[in-house]
A and B are shown apart, each in its own frame.
Chain A
């Protein structure tokens, strides 16, 4: 593997920002300084003006292998991740069969050999994700699993969840929850509120999420377990986590790019590519989630990359599968809607105005109905923290992921051109699926290069394998 010299970039990591060249040799960062000279045979990349950051870490993606390879596999999903600037992902265990045993963890490790980035596997909390019996967590933990979740559904049985937390606390692993009370959410196809009442789509109320968040926080307090709350989407959930922090409960929380950028008003198009669980929420919820991000109540932005084939989305709304893909758009969406000065949108939900303007332009490049505008809530370093070093810590990947970019550190790096504008074209995705809610959006911030363990897996926006 040739050495790589990144010349002229703005290095931003948990240590701050500095102008420096970065020399990568083998799988490590060898030097970080101004005016480095290129060793013979080194690949020299001019990254003048671009951000050089520790690679991004996604806490939540569905790679669909084994069992649903028509929508994604480890290779395509991690190629998609690399293109999005990720150098590590946590694969969700709701494959078919699910990752609920030591042998499945070993199978996934085998599949991981086709991965372009570091792939960690989450294990199921219950056998078959059925919510009735604890899965062999200690066995899976002995094989390196750090996070357990029945994602796709919440653990409905409160006594079982208490036991899962007790057990997890005993072996030092994290319980991650898809917080959704199934009885309250039953039949829901979108967020319950003014838009569901207009559109005649059955609603799933915010309380379906909040009831389970509140229960899990109480159980985490009781058991002392580490709790990670996935894809929080409501104002009430953010308020509960904020309070739990003050109470000293060990909890971390993630939110998704789509819950930060779209409201339930977008559903006026009845486009199944806007159907996901949890659903797109009201403008008030979006603002509260953004405030949670800005005030460090939220620890990570995770994609919930959930690929589905066309057959599962080009159907009547009621029959459509839940979920959207996000690995290739996450950073740009977050940059565009959260980071100061880079947003193209005019609609401003922060003013309390409804984001869905009827008859608004649907032209390519314009934000569709239900899109919410740039808010300038975060600096670039704060955003990278939420997408790189903080999630790396939650996933216990911080020995190799999340930087800082200093000599001797593992060479997991992404290079981003903040000023590059691009239009989302799903047909160009490396993902096997196309179910993005951002088709046609004009976004700012393009990933140019991704270096994973010293290997340039993406150069100039093109995957190298």
Chain B
């Protein structure tokens, strides 16, 4: 039933990116490789390629997220695509007005791909049923945020000498049950070979671990720190400290906050990540936030690169990716490939 279950096995095509599961391990590695290419492009004096010239990317944001929207728009622009943006703050739509009508309007305005952000889980799946254009999930309720997971994995890979997550011991800490970032990251990290442990108070555990490929889940952070290569801290909505799920923010911080004392329990060189924005003094102390092994800043920069890769892959397809490979390391080209190469180098 899921319209995007076509997996990139070999060179079959990915229609939508709704869940990290749409990519699978092969697709994730492929996406890392394409991101490497765009990282190279972005290092050029003019960090822009005309590969999606004439295409229009629509960002339909039914939930505010300036950061994510700007990141997608920047990615589209660097690929020379036009952008069309719809945001709840920038228009008269209110919750309850027709979500479907808005999507159908965007569709008929000629968008070639639709990036959707929505507070309801499954919203991007619904959009993918209604339109035939590629759909990218930019966050749907507590379900998934696949491009966040891609950029996190890319950032981790970049920070490691071996450029591989294989065998990496990762602890994901915090509000697991309400976090789309957690769900997407667990899927991506484990598909790329990491061994993931979940850490949270019981009230923030998922109801079941079916579909969560993890090594273990625990309430106790301190004992695992010595065997953890990377701590991924989830953002805690401060309302959770109101007493329903957590006695207080203070108690959460005392038990799960990454302080300098806790960071010192980790192996030397261990990494710290957070999807941002950080609640300093809650998920991590300011000292930890300032550590060189804390990768929050890199994540933002890499966000544009992975989103370039995703948009390029969905719109240019496997042929585009093949041509891109050729442009990098081959000297003999077919006509079609040279055409793409010209586009890429232009």
List chain A residues, Cβ under 8 A from B95: 319
A133 to B75 alpha-carbon distance, docked (Å): 59
B144: Cβ under 8 A from any A Cβ: yes
Given A269-B2, A316-B99, A360-B1, A200 and B140 contact (CB-CB distance below 8 Å): yes
List chain A residues, Cβ under 8 A from B123: 270, 316-317
- B179 shortest CB reach to chain A, Å: 9
Given A201-B143, A360-B1, A362-B1, A318 and B207 contact (CB-CB distance below 8 Å): no
A369: Cβ under 8 A from any B Cβ: yes
Do A201 and B121 have beta carbons less than 8 Å apart? Answer: yes
A268: Cβ under 8 A from any B Cβ: yes
A243: Cβ under 8 A from any B Cβ: no
B206: Cβ under 8 A from any A Cβ: yes
Do A196 and B183 have beta carbons less than 8 Å apart? Answer: no
A201 to B143 alpha-carbon distance, docked (Å): 7
Do A197 and B126 have beta carbons less than 8 Å apart? Answer: no
List chain B residues, Cβ under 8 A from A110: none
Find the residue from B1, B5, B121, B211 having the highest chain A CB count within 10 A.
Answer: B1
A193: Cβ under 8 A from any B Cβ: yes
List chain B residues, Cβ under 8 A from A198: 210-212
Do B1 and A200 have beta carbons less than 8 Å apart? Answer: no
Do B100 and A315 have beta carbons less than 8 Å apart? Answer: yes
B276: Cβ under 8 A from any A Cβ: no
Do B126 and A316 have beta carbons less than 8 Å apart? Answer: yes
- A154 shortest CB reach to chain B, Å: 21
B141: Cβ under 8 A from any A Cβ: yes
For the complex, count residues of A whose C-beta is within 8 A of B.
30
Contact with B along A183-216 (1 / 0, CB 8 A): 0000001001111111111110100000000000
List chain A residues, Cβ under 8 A from B120: 316-319
Do A315 and B98 have beta carbons less than 8 Å apart? Answer: yes
A8: Cβ under 8 A from any B Cβ: no
B241: Cβ under 8 A from any A Cβ: no
Do B209 and A317 have beta carbons less than 8 Å apart? Answer: no
Residue in A197, A319, A362 whose beta carbon sits within 8 Å of that of B208 in the complex = A197
Q: Which range holds the interface residue count of chain B?
A: 20 to 34
- B5 shortest CB reach to chain A, Å: 5
List chain B residues, Cβ under 8 A from A317: 120-123, 126
List chain B residues, Cβ under 8 A from A189: 121
Given A197-B212, A360-B1, A318 and B206 contact (CB-CB distance below 8 Å): no
- B6 shortest CB reach to chain A, Å: 9
Chain B residue at smallest Cβ distance from A282:
B208
Do B96 and A319 have beta carbons less than 8 Å apart? Answer: yes
Contact with A along B192-210 (1 / 0, CB 8 A): 0000000000000011111
Which A residues, 325 to 369, have Cβ-Cβ distances below 8 Å to chain B? 358-360, 362, 368-369
The interface of chain B, by Cβ under 8 A from chain A, is 1-2, 5, 62, 95-96, 98-100, 118-123, 125-126, 140-144, 177, 180, 183, 206-212
The interface of chain A, by Cβ under 8 A from chain B, is 189, 192-203, 205, 268-270, 311, 314-319, 358-360, 362, 368-369
